[in-house]
Amino acid sequence: MSTEATSTRYADIDLWPTADLVTGMVESHAEGFAAVRAAGPAIARAIDAMAARLGATGRMIYIGAGTSGRVGAQDAAELPPTFNWPYERAVTLMAGGQVALFQAVENAEDSTTAAPEGLDALKLTANDVVIGLGASGSTPYVIAGLTHARAKGALTIGIQNNPGGEIGRVAEIEILLDTGPEFLAGSTRMKAGTAQKVALNTISTGVMIKLGFVYKGLMVEMRPTNAKLRERAARMVAELTGADIDTCRKTLAVADYAIPLATVMLLRSLDRAAAQAALERAGGNLRKALA
């Protein structure tokens, strides 16, 4: 198992000067980026399949244990504020439950019943996407969850760092992030975790772009929930419409800080109701509403 192997290059790291330790670890993490790049075609297939499957009701459900589970939970938690993706459509199932996000729960990853039970509690549908993560590719919790989800008709994606792992075999789409031996043997919180983080960021952002949550490279569905983000929203609307910043602030206030709504109001000289109707006819897609 490559993720557990010992590298002769790092056999004496306890004797290395601190500067060399830092350089070595950073270089190791860079190998994680290379692994994600190599998995590009599989990641692209996953993005297209997810965008086609999710529609208006499908959920992104992340399943993992330990570091992999926490990486998945972070990706899920960031989708609502970044893209206004509904919280109930970004779900995390963590081996050991929510407490395991903050402290290790021993043996939780060995359960073959907890993930299927969690999916059943969510009333899984064929519109859902289940993403299972496990560096070794052999985590029983994740394998059982993916197997159950696939049997229920959900789209399943298995992300693993070990070639030949079961997680990739049981999923409909396998994403292999072949990161090899760790700087610290077996510590997959390092470059394996880095690769998973980069891959998930790429997948979820790609899906949001395909679903129309991004316009002209801007996070137009962002939730402006504080003063900093409200100013960012005003700058976005100003960039998209050419209006002065004060006009953009006032229009956003009328639009309850919905960036697409304010943009349509200004570019089409419409009141809120008419702009809202235009967006609804376009399925909420700003580009289509402005076409």
**8 A C-beta contact, residue 38 and residue 67:** no
DSSP for 17-47, written as a single string: -HHHHHHHHHHHHHHHHHHHHHTHHHHHHHH
Catalytically annotated residue among 27, 88, 109, 182: 109
pLDDT in tens, 46-91: 999 999 999 889 999 999 999 999 999 999 999 999 999 999 999 9
Every domain range in the chain assigned CATH 3.40.50.10490 = 2-210
Catalytically annotated residue among 4, 78, 172, 231: 78
Establish whether 239 is a catalytic residue. no
Q: What is the pLDDT of residue 176?
A: 98
CATH of domain 2-210: 3.40.50.10490
Multiple choice CATH, 227-290, 3.40.50.880, 1.20.120.1200, 1.10.8.1080, 3.40.50.2300? 1.10.8.1080
Establish whether 109 is a catalytic residue. yes
Is the pLDDT at 28 greater than 80, yes or no?
yes
Q: What is the pLDDT of residue 185?
A: 86
Every domain range in the chain assigned CATH 1.10.8.1080 = 227-290
Q: Comparing C-alpha atoms, which of 67, 30, 58 is closest to residue 159?
A: 67
Q: pTM of the predicted model, to two decimals?
A: 0.92
Which secondary-structure segment (H or E) carries 74? helix 66-83
